[in-house]
Amino acid sequence: MPRNARKGRRRVAWWQCAALAVFAATLALSSTVGSAADRVIDTETGKIKVQTLATGLKRPWGLAFLPDGRMLVTERAGNLRIMATDGTLSEPLTGVPKVEVIGQGGLLDVTLDPEFKSNKLVYISYSEAGDDGAGTAVARGKLGDDGLKDVQAIFRQIPKVKGGNHFGSRLVFSPDGKLFVTLGERFKFEPAQDLGNHLGKVARIDPDGSVPADNPFISQQDAQPEIWSYGHRHPQGAAIHPETGKLWQTEFGPKGGDELNIPAPGANHGWPVVSWGIHYDGKDIPNPPSHPEFADAIYHWTPVISPSGIAFYTDDAIPGWNGNLLIAGLSSQGVVRLSLDGETVTGEERIPLGARIRNVAQGPGGAVYVLTDEGDGKVLRLTAETP
């Protein structure tokens, strides 16, 4: 064989090897990405499939499903987007009010009006700047083709104060059409016991922001009429029990003492006088039983799970979960599943997802959707893994 022919054959062989190496590396990368996107987790009730539907969100916080199966999702940085059923994210929608992005504040929760199909109203909560600092606000507007229109603020937490902590801000409608708004005490402690402000409170308002006539403090002088319950620290989870219609709520404790509560009208939950945790500097706080005049939690955690959004699961698509309460865990980096007997917690399971979970919701077909609290935030879908 001529020398040049042998040399050419060696060239072909080298390029073939290089191509095979690139192909193998690409295949390995594809396999890695696929395994990261679709995982199977063993749980007490069976295997759960975890799928990544969307990535690239900046600290996603709130979500709400539209009637057609698409999802509204907020980014704490100030964007409201729509996620299509295939996971595609829209450009930021127009019409979102100016948001004060500070500490734990920003664009926070989103929910639909109970009559959304006819009125197209969407409600958002966010931190709003003012002369004296910032506070939680709620606005509503009509969802159009590219954003919100006719946006109006319907509630503002007073007073606005300095600092970037404890905005609370979960939104949930009750069966009678009233809107609950959870409000943190802005890391100011004592104002949670003062009915003259909205710090450390759960508010209850009509959809237009007016005050329901049956609110517990509407006739009390020097009390804010929107208050439903008080003595809260940093309530970030809220859901309506599907059978009783009662509000259930989770909130962050200090060092220990995260709580699950059922706030009754007019109830005082005791912060900062009592807590199941202690102060960050190690100073003790009396436990709730030492003050029976306060409403106690029905369940609490030490060490903390850092509970954010919550949802009652009401489907049989994931066996063994129907009737359970699902809690988004930040420091616990997963979903906490509580089994219930009436208003008593009978069991707890931690479902690890390897990331701080900001919100959890039941979606179409009984799937569970969660938001990861990351700069490259994700939308995950949990379903039962079928054999």
CA atoms of 154 and 137, how far apart (whole Å): 8
**Mind giving me the DSSP string for 149-206?**
EEEEEEEE-SS-BSSS------EEE-TTS-EEEEE--TT-SGGGG-TTS-TTEEEEE-
Of 51 and 23, which is predicted with more confidence?
51
Cβ(81)–Cβ(64) under 8 Å? no
- pTM recorded for the entire structure: 0.90
364 prior amide bond cis, ω within 30 = no
Which tokens sit at 96? 């979102």
Residue 190, number of CB atoms within 10 A of its CB: 12
Radius of gyration of the chain (CA): 24
19: part of which helix (H) or strand (E)?
helix 3-37
**What's phi and psi for 155, nearest 5 deg?**
-155, 140
159 prior amide bond cis, ω within 30 = yes
> What average pLDDT does the chain have?
92
At 140-199, the pLDDT tens digits run 999 999 999 999 999 999 999 999 999 999 999 999 999 999 999 999 999 999 999 999
pLDDT at 33: 33
Domain covering 39-384: architecture? 6 Propeller (2.120)
Cβ(190)–Cβ(272) under 8 Å? yes
CA atoms of 80 and 279, how far apart (whole Å): 36
| Percent of the chain with pLDDT strictly greater than 70 | 90
CA atoms of 160 and 128, how far apart (whole Å): 8
Which position has the token pair 């990861």? 372
At 57-72, the pLDDT tens digits run 999 999 999 999 999 9
pLDDT at 37: 54
Instruction: State the average pLDDT over residues 128-138.
Output: 97
CA atoms of 380 and 103, how far apart (whole Å): 25
pLDDT exceeds cutoff 90 at 351: yes
pLDDT range class, residue 15, cuts 50, 70, 90: very low
pLDDT range class, residue 23, cuts 50, 70, 90: very low
Selection from 167, 162, 113, 108 nearest residue 141 by Cα:
113
Cβ(335)–Cβ(348) under 8 Å? no
The answer to whether 291 is a known catalytic residue is: no
At 234-259, the pLDDT tens digits run 999 999 999 999 999 999 999 999 99
Give me the sheet containing 107-112, strands edge to edge: 107-112, 121-130, 133-143, 148-156
Of 32 and 238, which is predicted with more confidence?
238
pLDDT exceeds cutoff 70 at 26: no
pLDDT at 387: 76
Cα dihedral 196→200→203→209 (10° resolution): 70
Residue ranges per domain, the chain? 39-384
At 77-102, the pLDDT tens digits run 999 999 999 999 999 999 999 999 99
Residue-wise burial string across 75-92, b where 16 or more C-beta atoms lie within 10 A, e elsewhere: bbbbbbbbbeeeeebbeb
14-18, 74-78, 140-144, 295-299: lowest mean pLDDT where?
14-18
Name the pairing type of β-strands 344-352 and 334-341: antiparallel
